[in-house]
Structure 1
Amino acid sequence: MTERLFRTDPYLTSAGGTVTALTPEGGIVLDRTIFYPKGGGQPGDSGRVTWDGGACDIAGATKADETSIVLVPAEEAPLPPIGTLVETRLDWERRHRFMRMHTALHLLSAVVPLPVTGGQIGAEKSRLDFDMPEPTFEREAIQARLTELIEQDHPVSDEWITEAELDASPNLVKTLSVQPPRGAGHIRLVRIGSGPVPVDLQPCGGTHVRSTAEIGAVSVGKIENKGRANRRISITLNGEATGDPMPTGHGH
């Protein structure tokens, strides 16, 4: 089982770990990791693994199953043997852009309160697809409200509920195409806002910034028609992160 350090502190940029397995495809499994595995529309993290006598660049991370995360080397290279102590380092700039984008998409889903049919997070451009039969939202209005929510500097936090509690509140699930992972008995919720009525609250396993102001300026693209009742809204990051985007360094 891989301990998910990114879950408890998404600002960790480096950490030690021990190799617990090597996959037939040449992937590395550690007992703990700061690398987020591809899922929920968010790409897997990249970075570097070093050990006594060797190193390799990591192109991405994936889930081997519900408990293990595999680091995928960028190219064929000698791998650290099972039992080796390694040091992992994240491509922090890339990951932080994903964190800003992911949080901005949560705000977008609050600004456009319609069922989400798909989405993708990128370092340069991200999108959500909505079940929107008619163009009921104007781009300018979405831009104005999204900018307002970002500038209001709402805190972003997470909490856990049971699967039974989620079943009792099905409106928390906004995505039609992706359901929260089940089987562990509990579901992680990401909350934006500190008041009794949150700006947004939904199941999510991704990494997010500490507050909405850290997202920085965002541009909303034109609303694209992507088939019957399906409309796509894309966003791009317009500027640098604001607030305190500094990582926390090494995870012991």
Structure 2
Amino acid sequence: MSRYFCHDHPETLQLATRVLEARPGAVLLAENPFYPGGGGQLPDHGLLRWSDGEVEVDTFESIDGRLWTRLKQPLEIAGEVEAAVDPDFRQMMRELHTDLHILNALVFQAFDGALVTGVQMNADGTARIDFDLPDADNDRLRALEPAINDAIRQNLPVTESYIELDQAYDEKGLLRSRSVAPPPTGDGLIRVIEIAGLDRQACGGTHLTATGASRPVRILKIENKGRHNRRIRIGLDMG
């Protein structure tokens, strides 16, 4: 994949751009600020605006390495447009994804490098993450909630970098999923997210620039999903 605009410009939520190609209900933009989804994270919500109106963004589709934006109406748009990312939804996804990294780091450290078997973030401010933990004590997992919120209160910096694909496979603990890894960029690099002093792992999603920008987190439920999997459900304190 090519590097997403939102990775290099995470704070740009409104962007003047132009339509390069169009078909009914879809456009290819010269620059696209939307995160298209992936790795358990939902795609951005938002709008395209132009001189004659606006339309909601629906989903995204990669065709021959180019990111098409699909619209919620079968319009065919041309010329200059403004792409506007929904700031509240983007913020919620950034919080959830960063908080899942915190939880992932704590489980990885406390449970002998347990790997992730699935992740899903939801539009209601909740998320779940599954771990390969056949013998885990659920009470020990539940007891991680204060440590998650302590990491949030510490306001730890969150940074990104890119490393060679071979280096990513060689660095112990960088790839945390049992079955998938973030796709490399077109020049063979893997994106790495680091929470200072706590976590460093490969990831392609959107994140906060510091943990303190997240609302407090609650562990909502822990479920046994088969003999090996433990599913931890978390939720942002939306109050």
TM-score by structure 2 length?
Answer: 0.89
- 1:70 partner amino acid: W
1:156 Cα offset (Å): 0.4
Q: Write out the 4+ residue segments of structure 1 that deviate beyond 6 Å after TM superposition.
A: none
2:104 paired residue number = 109
The aligned length equals 231
Distance 2:51 2:142 in 1: 55
- 1:161 partner amino acid: I
Gaps of 5+ in 1: 241-252
Distance 1:111 1:3 in 2: 29
- Counterpart selection for 1:163 from 165, 168, 172: 165
Distance 1:201 1:63 in 2: 28
Identity of aligned residues (%): 33
2:128 paired residue number = 127
Distance 1:27 1:192 in 2: 37
Distance 2:73 2:92 in 1: 24
1:214 paired residue number = 213
Q: Which moved more, 1:153-162 or 1:138-147?
A: 138-147
Contact 1:38 1:63 (8 Å CA) reproduced = no
Instruction: Map 1:4-83; keep pairs closer than 5 Å.
Output: 4-23=4-23, 26-65=25-64, 67-76=65-74, 78-81=75-78
Query: SS of the residue aligned with 2:180?
Result: coil
- 1:184 partner amino acid: D
TM-score by structure 1 length?
Answer: 0.85
Distance verdict in 2 for CA 1:171–1:139, change over 3 Å: closer
Distance 1:106 1:10 in 2: 18
Q: Would you say 1:189 and 2:192 are equivalent positions?
A: yes
2:174 paired residue number = 172
Distance 1:170 1:163 in 2: 13
Query: SS of the residue aligned with 1:165?
Result: helix
Gaps of 5+ in 2: 109-113
1:170 Cα offset (Å): 4.6
Contact 1:223 1:232 (8 Å CA) reproduced = yes
Q: What CA deviation, in whole Å up to 9, does each residue of 1:30-72 have, x standing for no partner?
A: 111110012111111111111232421112334335x322212
Query: SS of the residue aligned with 2:162?
Result: strand
1:245 paired residue number = none
Distance 2:2 2:133 in 1: 39
Give the alignment's Cα RMSD to 1 decimal: 1.9
Distance 2:159 2:216 in 1: 21
Distance 1:184 1:38 in 2: 21
1:188 Cα offset (Å): 0.8
1:109 Cα offset (Å): 0.3
Q: What CA deviation, in whole Å up to 9, does each residue of 1:201-223 have, x standing for no partner?
A: 11111111111111121001221
